[in-house]
Amino acid sequence: MPTNLIVDTVFAVDALLTEDELGWKRKARAFADERIVPTIESDFENEYFRRELVAELGAAGFLGMHLTGYGCAGASAVAYGAVCLELEAADSGWRTFVSVQGSLAMSAISKHGSDEQKSTWLPKMATGEAIGCFGLTEPGGGSDPAAMTTTAGPDGDDWVLNGTKRWIGLASVADVAIIWARDPEGTVRGFVVPTATTGFRATPIEGKLSMRSSIQCDVTLDNVRLPASAVLPHARGLSAPFSCLNEARYGIVWGAMGAARTCLEAAVERSRTREVFGAPIGSRQLVQAKLADMFVEYEKGMLLALHLGRLKERGALTPAQISVGKLNNVREALSIAHTARSILAGDGITSEFPVMRHMANLESVRTYEGTDEIHQLVLGRALTGIAAF
Ligand code: TGC
């Protein structure tokens, strides 16, 4: 069976996309197949971030593609989701790159920045000439950004930043960091920080067994002095960084289904070709039951992603709805990866198949941008009106 037959059956999700959206999807799939898949196993093994792909992602128009103006494509939410799907079908690390660049760093500037900040950074970030990162999370409170201790103190016309951030994607290769810090009144403010600024230091976190083709860092801000023009003028309070997290979480809803699809395809292919007890394992009812359950969850996840995308295009997507998508699709993608690994048996733990790599990556995806538990609590609050954080 051709591998893409799976996606074209049952609910025919591709048939629900516009020609423009299908064009983006095909372009991303070709990019993933030609530029990521051939080297991803060794890059993952060697913890190698393939820097040259950044400009190629920019040339393809994927960086900040859902934004409008300043060199960005102004594509639909579904087109962006479809690109996330195809990139993550190759590896979560590269979907993460596109998310950090477009959904977090560029979105922060686009939503909350001045005209000068937009014209300085967005065109360069859209082409990949400049890499951005997003410094929100701190060592003392990943799930609780309100526990933020990084400070921004005014000093004459300047601001001076002090503090530490953790798990900041791409920070050590970034040209610009969006840093969130508290001002003396306790209000969370955002700052556009060129990473060459004295006092900014990013150190890659070592020993990761997940997202190994990507980079996550500890960041220290030691008396980082910035001009008044560095503050994001339209960002006040935690709702500003959360508005960017909404964008990134939305991309994950789609991306996770890409990882799931690759695992499902590997399991289907194996079930047709691997013979045990004198017959293909796919002829066994137990294996077919597993495949059917994986497939049902994959198709449901795709329909959920598409529904959220259409809501987003109408400006009607709520944070609670995004939580449904992030919680469900990552949880089910991980379950699909686990089941695929069981169908592949011992070979499933090797890098001959992409399944274990996706499974390891999805553990990170399950944790960042709001853990399962955080999204359960967001939904618990939406249902009961009671916050149980
Ligand atoms: P609370 O502190 O009471 O509210 C603060 C303000 O934020 C508003 N808000 C939102 N606004 C827009 N979208 C959302 N999703 C929002 N969630 C909250 C809220 O209305 C309030 O506004 P205002 O105007 O009243 O001040 O926060 P809360 O009680 O609403 O939320 C608590 C909780 C636990 C849900 C929230 O803290 C949360 O989502 N925690 C998880 C944080 C998280 O996802 N962290 C991961 C960050 S990942 C990352 O930084 C980059 S990973 C990629 C990489 O760099 O590699």
- Close Cβ partners of 249 (under 8 Å, ≥ 6 residues apart): 322, 323, 325, 326, 369, 370
Residue 378 Cα, ligand 1 centroid: separation in angstroms? 10
148/72 Cα distance (integer angstroms): 32
Q: What is the mean pLDDT of residues 228-233?
A: 98
* Banded model confidence at residue 11, pLDDT cuts 50, 70, 90: confident
In the chain, % of residues over pLDDT 70: 97
Please choose, from the candidates 91, 100, 104, 114, the residue with its C-alpha nearest in 3D space to the C-alpha of residue 44: 91
Instruction: Determine which residue's CA is closest to atom 35 belonging to ligand 1.
Output: 378
Does the pLDDT of residue 3 top 60, yes or no? Answer: no
Which residues have CB under 6 Å of ligand 1?
96, 100, 134, 136-137, 142-146, 168-169, 216, 237-239, 242-243, 245-246, 319, 368-370, 374, 378, 387, 389
Does the pLDDT of residue 236 top 50, yes or no? Answer: yes
369 in catalytic set: yes
Fold for the domain defined by 5-127: Butyryl-Coa Dehydrogenase, subunit A; domain 1 (1.10.540)
Domain extents in the chain: 5-127, 132-237, 240-384
Is the CATH number of domain 132-237 3.40.50.720?
no
- pTM score over 0.85: yes
Please choose, from the candidates 174, 230, 167, the residue with its C-alpha nearest in 3D space to the C-alpha of residue 200: 174
- Architecture of domain 240-384 in CATH? Up-down Bundle (1.20)
Which residue, chain included where needed, has tokens 């990949």? 128
In the chain, % of residues over pLDDT 90: 96
- Close Cβ partners of 348 (under 8 Å, ≥ 6 residues apart): 340, 341, 342, 355, 356
The domains spanning 5-127 and 132-237 adopt the same CATH topology: no
Residue 191 buriedness (CB in 10 A; 0-12 / 13-18 / 19+) = buried
Phi, psi of 126 (to 5 degrees): -65, -35
Residue 143 Cα, ligand 1 centroid: separation in angstroms? 8
Residue 246 Cα, ligand 1 centroid: separation in angstroms? 9
Does the pLDDT of residue 10 top 80, yes or no? Answer: no
* Banded model confidence at residue 6, pLDDT cuts 50, 70, 90: low
Mutate-to-test residue for ligand 1 from 99, 166, 245, 381, highest number of ligand atoms within 8 A of CB = 245
* Banded model confidence at residue 1, pLDDT cuts 50, 70, 90: very low
| pLDDT at res. 4 | 52
pLDDT tens, residue by residue, 31-54: 999 999 999 999 999 999 999 999
| pLDDT at res. 7 | 53
Mutate-to-test residue for ligand 1 from 166, 239, 324, 368, highest number of ligand atoms within 8 A of CB = 239
Instruction: Determine which residue's CA is closest to atom 48 belonging to ligand 1.
Output: 369
| pLDDT at res. 9 | 61
pLDDT tens, residue by residue, 174-220: 999 999 999 999 999 999 999 999 999 999 999 999 999 999 999 99
| pLDDT at res. 5 | 53
